[in-house]
Amino acid sequence: MAQGSALGVDLGGTNLRVCLVDLHGDASYHAVQTKTLIPPALMVSHEATRLFDFIAEQVETLIKIHRPACLSGVETEVFSLGLTFSFPVYQNAIDSGILLRWTKGFDIPSVIGQDVCQLLQHQVDLRNLPVKVTALVNDAAGTIMSRAYSLPANQTRTSIGTIFGTGTNGVYLEKLLKISKPLDGRFDDSTGQMFISIEWGSFDNDLSVLPNTEYDVQVNEASINPGNQMFEKRVSGMFLGELLRTALVELHNDPEVRLFHRPDKSTSGEGIDKTSLHTRWAVDSSILSIAESDVTEDLAMLRQKIVDVFAISSSLVSINDARVVKVVAHAIGKRAARLGGMALGAVVLKTEQLATPKTFRRNECYPDMEGDAPFNPLDVTDQLLEGDTARYPILSASDGPCLVDVGVDGSVAEFYPRFEMYMREALRAVEGIGLDGEKRIRMGLAKDGSSIGAAIIALIATQA
């Protein structure tokens, strides 16, 4: 099991996370982490260097605080850095990848077509930092790694990672033999497997099956990448608040509904036209979580949130208004979760993990097996042990045999109440999964999987 210190950088949402992780080699680790809001001017820019210099600066700050001796030259440690870069890249080696396109509100055209590891290494070198970018990772892959690292060695290995945060994506472990696309570049084929980043955010961009309401149409048209990431625009945190805002504006303007109007006046609420209700992208997805969780009679918590988020007077927000917001928010949130469940279901079916009769690998589901090789999440063999199924009980799932372990990260999955429950509803509806299959899928939050997982991969990459 990997052991030592490494840096993880997570770039992919509104915040930049940088962490320094000490892996103890026994499924435990100690991590220190910083989280900094990325200045919007760096997310949409004509200069590539500014964003990467900002990252290098945050890395320098973290080392200065926690390992100052490494900067003063007293210690000579060179840190491996895993870069979680959560955008579509063409990855041709563990430490190199070409950006294909930006998503989630980023737009720095000059980076497209460039190797993002080299861009970061260049800025790190300009600052003379003892850091080598050794791994490029998608956040969903980081989620698999951090969850696999922290699960006891006797439990089913994590094979799928999902992100439901600012953006959405899934990564799974695929057998090399099953990959028909020509693979170029440098890669280690010794495990016979490879992570596949699905980039399901851009599933069905031509909308042949996805639902498309008038609000989806408006949000897509107002985005910086119309026609792209159409699945993501219905599922991820960056878009859920905007979908809600768009729908509520319609209801505010509808003379039949008169949302956020004073009941006794024929005109609309004074001053409301200049509020966040009428400002694009002004509303984040946290209001959907409050709407879902407030089940009180008077919806006091939700009403307060509406007042805060939309910056409108509390006299314009009646209980009935809050009820309307709750219904619309619920429809948006539940749809997101169900679509997420469908995407996960598709991966489960594709990997045929439910179809395989339950057999265990020696390190996977056994308690106290002496003489086993230490657990390494990258070291997956398909050697099945005949007869062992009968001899040992299935350990991990409280609700039945567990065959598929899924790491989940992202603010929507973490904070939207019942997100997993709605995903599971959808999984049960998928042909080939159903009630029995759904029970055999275990999902677990891999919090901060993206940065910690990147550090783990960086270390494994250098120690391999």
Number of H-type helices and E-type strands within the chain: 16, 12
212: DSSP letter:
-
Among residue numbers 51 through 90, which ones bind ligand BGC (CB under 6 A)?
86-88
DSSP-derived 3-state class of residue 395 = coil
Percent helix, percent strand, percent coil in the chain, to nearest 5: 40, 20, 40
- CA dist., res. 163 & res. 171, Å (int): 9
* Residue 160 sits in the site that holds ligand BGC (CB under 6 A): no
Residues 115, 199, 420, 448: which binds ligand BGC (CB under 6 A)? 199
Least Å from the CB of residue 187 to ligand BGC: 19
Among residue numbers 162 through 181, which ones bind ligand BGC (CB under 6 A)?
163, 165, 167-169
Residues 8, 12, 105, 341: which binds ligand BGC (CB under 6 A)? 12
Window 357-396: contact mask with ligand BGC (x via CB under 6 A): ----------------------------------------
Strands (E), 60-180: 79-85, 89-93, 96-99, 131-137, 158-164, 168-175
- CA dist., res. 20 & res. 34, Å (int): 9
Q: Which CB atom, from 55 or from 299, has the smaller least distance to ligand BGC?
A: 55
Axis crossing angle, helix 286-293 with helix 237-253, rounded to the nearest 10: 70
Q: Tell me the site size for ligand BGC, rule CB under 6 A.
A: 17
User: DSSP letter string over 221-240?
Assistant: HHSSSTTSSTTHHHHSHHHH
Phi, psi of 443 (to 5 degrees): -115, 140
Q: Which CB atom, from 53 or from 232, has the smaller least distance to ligand BGC?
A: 232
Window 117-156: contact mask with ligand BGC (x via CB under 6 A): ---------------------xxx----------------
Q: Which CB atom, from 53 or from 199, has the smaller least distance to ligand BGC?
A: 199
Which residues, including other chains, have CB under 8 Å from residue 287's CB and lie 6 or more apart? 241, 244, 305, 306, 309, 325, 329
Of 314, 249, 322, 325, nearest to 280 by C-alpha is 249
Q: Which CB atom, from 103 or from 223, has the smaller least distance to ligand BGC?
A: 103
Window 216-245: contact mask with ligand BGC (x via CB under 6 A): ----------------x-------------
Residues 2, 16, 94, 104: which binds ligand BGC (CB under 6 A)? 104
Least Å from the CB of residue 100 to ligand BGC: 9
- CA dist., res. 96 & res. 133, Å (int): 9
Stretch of 160-168, 292-300, 343-351, 453-461 lying at the interface with ligand BGC (CB under 6 A)? 160-168
Q: Which CB atom, from 345 or from 410, has the smaller least distance to ligand BGC?
A: 410
- CA dist., res. 362 & res. 43, Å (int): 47
Least Å from the CB of residue 62 to ligand BGC: 22
| Chain CA centroid to CA 213, Å | 25
Q: Which CB atom, from 158 or from 169, has the smaller least distance to ligand BGC?
A: 169
Contact present, 144 and 160 (Cβ < 8 Å): yes
Window 200-219: contact mask with ligand BGC (x via CB under 6 A): -x------------------
- Interface residues with ligand BGC (CB under 6 A)? 12, 86-88, 103-104, 138-140, 163, 165, 167-169, 199, 201, 232
